[in-house]
């Protein structure tokens, strides 16, 4: 019944896309193990993978053992699922390095101590040992070309081309499932809906080679109401690694979620209980301008991913979006310094608009280029201490400095930077 609770829970949260018929029986039969694979082609997981991580968390909460598989082996091949075109091969050194980083990210979400303690494994462990001839005989023989060609991941690529390497990917993932079934009695694989084909290939392989049972659950693709790809911002993906996406930017991503999406995201990405989420749904419907649901979402997810950094982030957010600049305390500025783009100017050096622009221009900075900055000023989108800067303004009066040394820079509605005069 505990198991039915898991399926009900996933169902209510909108996380159940497809599953095998017997999965309810499996979950009902007692503690079992389920796994999800994570791709180490990037040095960090992003919020797309966060949904998968949360699936493992929910699995563990329901009393089962979560197994996170880092694809140190499969990452060298490349999963064609959901990809429109062939990707360049990743090099082994990077994949190794990434796998180690991703392992650490996964570890902070899972509990390793309990009876149903989590496990993190790397498929390089067995895939790198695999001999081509053995693989063809032991794995390849169980799949017909016809079966493989029918998979969506392959179908989608017939027009644009797919290499034998990526075409074979599903067999490696199938083999992973088999290995996990043998080694750790893992009977369930979870994943995004695009993984269904790979997962069922694994079930197929397990049945044919061992006769044992295997099961699958997939979650829907996360969408956004605006039609934009979920998890992408103008700056690129939203990463879990604080050096790639600062905790402040991370929090801002969630705070800015569309009213139409926030209820869904609360269900997907937090472990908040049903009543609480439903109350937030009501809050959004009644006084959306208070953004209570967004705040709850941002707070919970940021805490889960960045832990203690949440306090500083909220302090910084309050300072920037809370009210007058004069009310920002010295302490808040010191926090802000670490959360938003920040430059230091020598004391005595004259502060000018162009000096500030230079400091904040560059790829990935507040302004992409100096041209971009000039444009912004021309269009009236550049502010110092929340005061719009006129196109012909060049000097900045020292008296504007807050606490004698801080100057708040803003581009447009919500992009901030901080100038600090060295003491």
Give contact residues for RNA (rule: CB under 7 A): 86, 158-163, 226-228, 234, 252, 255-256, 258-259, 288-289, 291, 294, 317, 320-321, 361, 368-372, 374-376, 379-381, 411-415
Least distance between RNA and beta carbon 184 (Å): 38
Q: Which is nearer to RNA, 145 or 158 (CB)?
A: 158
Closest to 67 measured CA to CA, from 147, 16, 152, 125: 125
Is the Cβ–Cβ distance between 405 and 330 less than 8 Å?
Answer: no
Query: Dihedral of the CA atoms 56, 60, 64, 67 (nearest 10)?
Result: 40
Q: Which is nearer to RNA, 6 or 266 (CB)?
A: 266
Q: Which is nearer to RNA, 176 or 261 (CB)?
A: 261
- Beta-bridge mates of residue 67: 35, 119
Q: Tokens 């941002």 belong to which residue?
A: 298
Contacts of 355 (CB under 8 A, 6+ apart): 345, 349
Task: Give the pair of three-digit tokens for residue 21.
Answer: 């018929």
Least distance between RNA and beta carbon 262 (Å): 8
Q: Which is nearer to RNA, 128 or 226 (CB)?
A: 226
Longest dimension (CA), the chain: 79
H-type alpha helices, 108-168: 124-127, 132-138, 145-150, 152-158, 164-167
Q: Which is nearer to RNA, 232 or 337 (CB)?
A: 232
Q: 325-352 burial, b if ≥16 CB within 10 A, otherwise e?
A: beebeeebbebbbebbbbbebeeeeebe
Q: Which is nearer to RNA, 123 or 270 (CB)?
A: 270
Q: Which is nearer to RNA, 135 or 230 (CB)?
A: 230
Least distance between RNA and beta carbon 248 (Å): 10
Least distance between RNA and beta carbon 405 (Å): 24
Least distance between RNA and beta carbon 220 (Å): 21
Contacts of 213 (CB under 8 A, 6+ apart): 22, 26, 187, 206, 207
Q: Which is nearer to RNA, 61 or 361 (CB)?
A: 361
Least distance between RNA and beta carbon 238 (Å): 13
Q: Which is nearer to RNA, 114 or 371 (CB)?
A: 371
Closest to 408 measured CA to CA, from 339, 311, 310: 339
d(CA 357, CA 296): 35
Helix H or strand E encompassing 287: none
Closest to 241 measured CA to CA, from 229, 249, 233: 249
Least distance between RNA and beta carbon 351 (Å): 17
Q: Which is nearer to RNA, 163 or 209 (CB)?
A: 163
Is the Cβ–Cβ distance between 22 and 207 less than 8 Å?
Answer: no
Least distance between RNA and beta carbon 313 (Å): 9
Least distance between RNA and beta carbon 343 (Å): 16
Is the Cβ–Cβ distance between 224 and 261 less than 8 Å?
Answer: yes
Least distance between RNA and beta carbon 130 (Å): 25
**Strand ranges, E, within 18-146:** 18-19, 33-38, 65-70, 119-122
């Amino acid at each position: 019944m505990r198991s039915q609770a898991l399926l009900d829970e996933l169902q209510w949260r909108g996380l159940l896309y497809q599953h095998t018929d017997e999965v309810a029986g499996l979950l009902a039969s007692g503690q079992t193990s389920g796994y999800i694979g994570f791709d180490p082609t990037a040095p960090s997981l992003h919020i797309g993978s966060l949904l998968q991580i949360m699936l493992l968390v929910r699995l563990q909460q329901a009393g089962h053992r979560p197994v996170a598989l880092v694809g140190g082996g499969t990452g060298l091949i490349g999963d064609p699922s959901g990809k429109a075109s062939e990707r360049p091969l990743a090099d082994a050194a990077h994949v190794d390095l990434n796998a180690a980083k991703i392992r650490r990210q996964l570890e902070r979400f899972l509990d390793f101590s309990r009876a149903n303690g989590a496990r993190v494994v790397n498929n390089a462990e067995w895939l790198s040992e695999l001999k081509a001839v053995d693989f063809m005989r032991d794995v390849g023989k169980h799949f017909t070309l016809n079966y493989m060609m029918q998979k969506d991941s392959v179908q989608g690529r017939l027009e644009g081309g797919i290499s034998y390497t990526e075409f074979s990917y599903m067999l490696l993932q199938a083999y992973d499932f088999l290995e996990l079934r043998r080694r750790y009695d893992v009977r369930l694989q979870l994943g995004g809906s695009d993984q269904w084909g790979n997962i069922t290939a694994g079930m197929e392989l397990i049945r044919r080679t061992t006769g044992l049972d295997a099961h699958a659950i997939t979650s829907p693709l996360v969408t956004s109401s605006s039609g934009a790809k979920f998890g992408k911002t103008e700056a690129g993906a939203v990463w879990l690694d604080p050096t790639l996406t600062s905790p402040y930017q991370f929090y801002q991503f969630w705070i800015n979620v569309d009213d139409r999406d926030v209820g869904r995201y609360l269900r997907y990405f937090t472990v908040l209980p049903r009543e609480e989420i439903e109350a937030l749904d009501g809050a959004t419907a009644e006084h959306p301008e208070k953004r209570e649901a967004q705040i709850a979402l941002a707070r919970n997810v940021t805490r889960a991913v960045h832990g203690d950094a949440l306090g500083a982030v909220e302090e910084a957010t309050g300072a920037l979006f809370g009210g007058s600049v004069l009310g920002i305390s010295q302490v808040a500025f010191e926090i802000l310094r670490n959360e938003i783009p920040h430059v230091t100017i020598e004391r005595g050096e004259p502060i000018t608009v162009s000096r500030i622009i230079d400091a904040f221009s560059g790829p990935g900075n507040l302004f992409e280029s100096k041209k971009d900055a000039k444009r912004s000023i021309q269009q009236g989108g550049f502010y110092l201490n929340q005061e719009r800067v006129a196109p012909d303004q060049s000097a900045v009066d020292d008296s504007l400095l807050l606490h004698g040394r801080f100057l708040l820079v803003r581009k447009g509605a919500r992009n901030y930077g901080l100038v600090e005069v060295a003491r």
